[in-house]
Chains A and B, each alone.
Chain A
Amino acid sequence: MHRPAISTAILSLLAACGSEPGVYDIPLPEALGRLEQADTDGFRAARQCGILIHLSASGPRDNAITWRVTSSGSEVLRFTVRLTAEGDGTRAAIEVPEDPKGGEMYDGRKTYPRPAVNQPLRPAIQELVDAAMERRPYDVMRLPEPRNTDRVCGIQRAGLESGSFRFGVDDKPGMDSRQSARMREAEEAEPDRGAADASYGPPVDGAAGSWGECGP
Chain B
Amino acid sequence: MRPLTSLLPALALLAGCGGSGEVCPQPAAKVRARMAAIDEVPVVFGSIPVTMTSSRRGDGTIVWRVSQGDRSILRFLAHSEAVDNGSTRVRVEVTGPTDRPDDPVTQRLADNASVRDLYQLAMAEQIDATLENREFDFSRIAAATTRAVAANIGEISANMDKVGEESRRRGAENIARAYHEEAQGY
Contact = CB atoms under 8 A, between A and B. Distances in A.
Contacts of B174: 160-163
Given A45-B175, A52-B179, A161-B170, 16 more contacts: A45-B172, A48-B175, A52-B178, A52-B182, A160-B174, A160-B175, A160-B178, A161-B171, A161-B172, A161-B175, A162-B171, A162-B174, A163-B170, A163-B174, A163-B177, A166-B178
Interface string A28-61: 0000000000000000010010001000000000
Contacts of B171: 161-162
Interface residues of A, number: 8
Nearest to B176: A45
Interface in B100-114: none
Interface of A: 45, 48, 52, 160-163, 166
Contacts of A162: 171, 174
Interface size class for chain B?
Answer: under 10
Contacts of B178: 52, 160, 166
Nearest to B172: A45
The 10 closest A-B CB pairs, nearest first, are A161-B171, A163-B174, A52-B182, A161-B174, A160-B175, A52-B178, A52-B179, A166-B178, A160-B178, A161-B175
A45 B175 CA distance: 9
Nearest to A48: B175
B170 to A, nearest CB: 7
20 contacts: A45-B172, A45-B175, A48-B175, A52-B178, A52-B179, A52-B182, A160-B174, A160-B175, A160-B178, A161-B170, A161-B171, A161-B172, A161-B174, A161-B175, A162-B171, A162-B174, A163-B170, A163-B174, A163-B177, A166-B178
Contacts of A161: 170-172, 174-175
A58 B177 CA distance: 27
Q: Which of A45, A48, A163 has the most CB of B within 10 A?
A: A163
A82 B69 CA distance: 52
B179 to A, nearest CB: 6
B131 to A, nearest CB: 30
